[in-house]
Structure 1
Amino acid sequence: MLFIFDMGGVVTTTFLMDELYKKIGITQEQFKEICCKKRMIFDELEKGIITPSEFWSEFNKSAKSYKIEPVKNDLFRLYFHPVLNVKTVKIINALKKKHRVVCGTNTIESHWENHMERGDYAFFDQTYASNKIGEAKPDPQFFKVILEAEGCTSDQAFFTDDRLENIEAARSLGINAVLFTDADSLKKEWKRYF
């Protein structure tokens, strides 16, 4: 069996975008508008097509009409302070005794580096990150890449994520997917595999 875990919101806390909006002085809607003005720069960042510095350069160009100060630092890195979910890590370690356990995560280079420094990916047998494989959830291709790399069929794969659209995408391929709400619920759901 193959178990695939999302990282942010499952193994660690997620990035608090509200802090970033406050720092820049814009709303969530304005941030999205800026990121989609000329091209989908956040999607490109998440798929590893552009670097964080290229993202912020494009962001600053597109944000000129919002009369905000240009962003000079990688705010995705500066404001990223994930907290480990120890209960989820215990589930990962228990599953690894009998099964292959991997991470399947949408991430950006700034957060990838932070997780690497902290050793967050070391809990897994392998990590499949959107910025490294060029595919992002909820696109089913993200899961197809993992299944192919692992030599696993969808009916032998299990996935958990805190975002419903990602669960639905995995299920569309026949992957056994569970919406993550908390580690105790996940442990009950998968207890027969320990």
Structure 2
Amino acid sequence: MSSRPFDAVLCDLDNVIRFYDTAPVAELERASGLAEGTTAEAAYAPEVDLPLLLGRITTEEWVDSIASALSGRVPPARARELGKALADAPFRADDVVVDLLRRVRGHMPLVLVTNATSELERDLASMGLADLADHVVSSARVGVAKPDRAIYEIAAERAGAAAHRCLFVDDRLENVEAAVALGMTGVHYRTPADLRRALSFLPDA
């Protein structure tokens, strides 16, 4: 029996490792007379967002869907401009979290489990994170998204660990609760301190 509490770490990407700068979108919304967050609200509605995350539509088609959802509030050209601005929002990786996760790989498998687009691999490479994890389970590649239990089972299988021996980290509570329901230990991520505490069992964390 292993003395360590987990045999694998499964970690979300967005709002844990990757963070978007939506200031350009907010500025465009203000110029259009829209409340800040209007574009994101339209873009992340399940009927607009889920087809993208399941790999059924392209990013350009997603932008078209956002523009359609914003129709009636702003002129068509501005609606598409808003959708494009959101799709092209710049992003960065949190260096503190990346460092913590790189330490994980010295002790056990690390798997990224993310609701993402088919452009995920390119995005990881652009941040210098193509080699961060042992495996990447992307909703757009496996055709199922969190909080569906199947994506957690795929991740645990790729990690080579039983569900009850996995630590799962995510910023969305519903995703954490789904992992816990499968027997995983869940961490509802808000700041790097949450991850640091969860990894305190590692000798170099």
Mark yes or no: TM-score above 0.5.
yes
- 2:89 maps to which of 59, 79, 82: 79
Provide the rounded CA distance (Å) in 2 between the counterparts of 1:35 and 1:10: 18
> TM-score normalised to the size of structure 2?
0.77
Match of 2:99 in 1: 90
- 1:178 maps to which of 176, 187, 196: 187
Provide the rounded CA distance (Å) in 2 between the counterparts of 1:106 and 1:149: 17
Paired residue total? 190
Q: How far has the Cα of 1:150 moved from its partner?
A: 3.3
Go from structure 1 to structure 2 and tell me whether the alpha carbon gap of 1:66 and 1:112 turns closer, same or farther (over 3 Å shift).
Answer: farther
Structure 2, gaps ≥5 residues long = 1-6
Q: What SS does structure 1 have at the residue aligned with 2:18?
A: coil
Match of 1:23 in 2: 28
Provide the rounded CA distance (Å) in 1 between the counterparts of 2:146 and 2:22: 18
Provide the rounded CA distance (Å) in 2 between the counterparts of 1:33 and 1:8: 18
Go from structure 1 to structure 2 and tell me whether the alpha carbon gap of 1:175 and 1:18 turns closer, same or farther (over 3 Å shift).
Answer: farther
Structure 1, gaps ≥5 residues long = none
Match of 1:6 in 2: 12
Paired residue type of 1:175: M
* Equivalent residue runs for 1:3-152 within 5 Å: 3-13=9-19, 15-16=20-21, 19-20=24-25, 22-23=27-28, 25=32, 26-27=34-35, 28=37, 32=41, 40-68=47-75, 69-71=78-80, 74-82=84-92, 84-110=93-119, 112-152=121-161
In percent, how many aligned pairs have the same letter? Answer: 18
Provide the rounded CA distance (Å) in 1 between the counterparts of 2:120 and 2:171: 18
Q: What SS does structure 1 have at the residue aligned with 2:113?
A: strand
CA RMSD of aligned residues (A): 2.7
> TM-score normalised to the size of structure 1?
0.81
